[in-house]
């Protein structure tokens, strides 16, 4: 049986290689770490989580929760690793980053059907290939990909949030609670602000100095909405952060018995609870400015920053017309893509695309017909978006209930509607799995 080459050992690449091995297909997995790192990656292990340790909500009635359940049913290595390395995070599934990476790395390296080659790939190999090099594809391979697709590479900038030590947070101000009581009281620490504190912080934030971006000759860049730097969001209007990551709804400050005017949430970064990240505080501020401005947050006056936020370039394909819904090149069917380079956005979305690409290529190698996930499933809807895009232009897309087809009956209650959409999705996936299991 023919083998396949997977380039990149991030979430998508590991899932693609895992799927191929599950179908008894030999895989060569090429990863340039630890010989070479991108500007955002630091850890030598596979499936490194860079921006956040959260894999989003667990509720099946949420888009992220539904996609994760679909992934579990498709044999996801990401979900297996996440369950074993999770840390408390209220209604979200968050993991210890290093333990998560270590687990995936061990499973991949110990798989007898997967041969790992620690090398930077600069030219696309012969034979069946899945390119899963992520949004920070190396310069040499980016050129090869651009020559291959014959189309425009699009781009945006992505940002990561700072991490602080738990012991440096003033617990007389910051209080433990999850919104609406979902999860444990110590899953999040909450730094409350009154109106005056918020306005002072807001003024400092919008006037703080940002780090220069060297990626573009003309200095222009695009920013993906889901990873908007907090300072860029703030410049859209004084109340924008309060209706975004600093929204106080579902929380009560025990010092006042009232809802704060604004709040900054800190989420556990590791199982021991010694590190916390600032939720939604992705930033491109200079490091000194981050220390100055974020120390104005009540409870973080003496915060010890173990990592400052960073901003880096992400690239992705203008996929409609280049890729089909199986993540296969329309004009070169031996080559597949997976992960954020395809235009899906987010950890689980990237991993899910790797599952689908690996499953699709497995079936091709085995001489079986394509297996198309219906758009009623979240992964099917995402892959359809990659194939067809949007009338307003192709932009990165994460999982959301809005991309699913409408229900046949109208349900006014949002949670009931989302529950019905999830039920329909999993029923459709069950029918597909009957074919896979043959």
Q: Are residue 46 and residue 151 in the same domain, yes or no?
A: yes
| Alpha carbon of residue 38 to chain centroid | 17
Q: Are residue 145 and residue 25 in the same domain, yes or no?
A: yes
Instruction: Say how far apart CA 149 and CA 80 lie, in whole Å.
Output: 34
Instruction: Say how far apart CA 309 and CA 81 lie, in whole Å.
Output: 26
pLDDT value of residue 222: 64
Structure-derived torsion over alpha carbons of residues 250, 252, 258, 260, reported in degrees to the nearest 10: -80
Q: Are residue 28 and residue 98 in the same domain, yes or no?
A: yes
Instruction: Say how far apart CA 194 and CA 202 lie, in whole Å.
Output: 12
Instruction: Say how far apart CA 222 and CA 315 lie, in whole Å.
Output: 10
pLDDT value of residue 216: 41
Q: Are residue 104 and residue 131 in the same domain, yes or no?
A: yes
Contact 82, 100 (CB under 8 A): yes
Domain CATH code at residue 244: 2.40.30
The number of domains in the chain is: 2
Summarize pLDDT for 264-322 with one digit per residue, the tens.
999 988 767 888 999 999 999 999 999 999 999 999 999 999 888 888 777 889 999 99
Pairing of strands 114-118, 27-31: parallel
Domain CATH code at residue 334: 3.50.50.60
Q: Are residue 62 and residue 118 in the same domain, yes or no?
A: yes
Q: What angle do CA 352, 337, 57 make, to 5 degrees?
A: 20
pTM of the model: 0.79
Contact 197, 298 (CB under 8 A): yes
Summarize pLDDT for 164-178 with one digit per residue, the tens.
999 999 999 999 998
pLDDT value of residue 341: 95
Q: Are residue 364 and residue 282 in the same domain, yes or no?
A: no
pLDDT value of residue 274: 82
Which residue range is the domain that position 389 belongs to?
A: 4-157+314-437
Q: What stretches in the chain show pLDDT beneath 70?
A: 1, 151, 183-185, 213-226, 271, 390-392, 438
Q: Are residue 230 and residue 270 in the same domain, yes or no?
A: yes
Residue of 299, 297, 294, 295 whose CA lies nearest to 255: 299
Q: Are residue 406 and residue 334 in the same domain, yes or no?
A: yes
Q: Are residue 275 and residue 328 in the same domain, yes or no?
A: no
């Amino acid at each position: 049986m023919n083998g396949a080459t997977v380039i990149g050992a991030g979430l998508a690449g590991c899932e693609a290689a895992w799927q191929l091995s599950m179908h008894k297909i030999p895989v060569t997995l090429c990863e340039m770490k630890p010989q070479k790192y991108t500007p955002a990656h630091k850890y030598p292990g596979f499936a490194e989580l860079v921006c956040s340790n959260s894999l989003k909500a667990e509720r099946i009635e949420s888009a992220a929760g539904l996609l994760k359940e679909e992934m579990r049913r498709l044999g996801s290595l990401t979900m297996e690793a996440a369950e074993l390395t999770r840390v408390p995070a209220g209604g979200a599934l968050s993991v210890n980053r290093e333990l998560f990476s270590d687990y995936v790395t061990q499973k991949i390296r110990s798989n007898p059907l997967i041969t790992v080659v620690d090398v930077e790939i600069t030219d696309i190999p012969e034979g069946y290939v899945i390119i899963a090099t992520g949004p920070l594809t190396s310069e040499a391979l980016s050129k090869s990909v651009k020559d291959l697709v014959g189309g425009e590479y699009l781009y945006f900038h992505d940002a990561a949030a700072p991490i602080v030590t738990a012991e440096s947070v003033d617990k007389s101000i910051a209080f433990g609670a999850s919104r609406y009581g979902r999860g444990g009281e110590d899953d999040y620490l909450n730094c409350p602000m009154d109106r005056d504190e918020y306005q002072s912080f807001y003024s400092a934030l919008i006037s703080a100095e940002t780090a220069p971006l060297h990626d573009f000759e003309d200095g222009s860049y695009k920013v993906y909405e889901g990873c908007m730097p907090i300072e860029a969001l703030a410049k859209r209007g004084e109340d924008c952060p309060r209706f975004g990551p600093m929204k106080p709804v579902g929380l009560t400050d025990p010092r006042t018995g009232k809802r704060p005017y604004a709040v900054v949430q800190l989420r556990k970064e590791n199982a021991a609870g010694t590190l916390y990240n600032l939720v939604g505080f992705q930033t491109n501020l200079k490091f000194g400015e981050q220390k100055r401005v974020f120390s104005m947050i009540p409870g973080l006056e003496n915060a010890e920053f173990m990592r400052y936020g960073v901003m880096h370039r992400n690239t992705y394909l203008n996929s409609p017309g280049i890729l089909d819904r199986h993540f296969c090149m329309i004009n070169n069917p031996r080559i597949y893509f997976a992960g954020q380079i395809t235009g899906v956005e987010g950890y689980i979305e990237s991993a899910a695309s790797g599952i689908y690409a690996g499953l699709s290529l497995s079936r091709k190698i085995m001489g079986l017909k394509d297996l198309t996930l219906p758009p009623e499933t979240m992964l099917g809807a995402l892959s359809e978006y990659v194939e067809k895009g949007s009338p307003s232009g192709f932009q990165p897309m994460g999982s959301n209930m809005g991309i699913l087809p409408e229900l046949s009956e109208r349900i006014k209650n949002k949670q009931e509607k989302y529950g019905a959409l999830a039920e329909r999705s999993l029923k459709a996936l069950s029918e597909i799995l009957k074919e896979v299991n043959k």
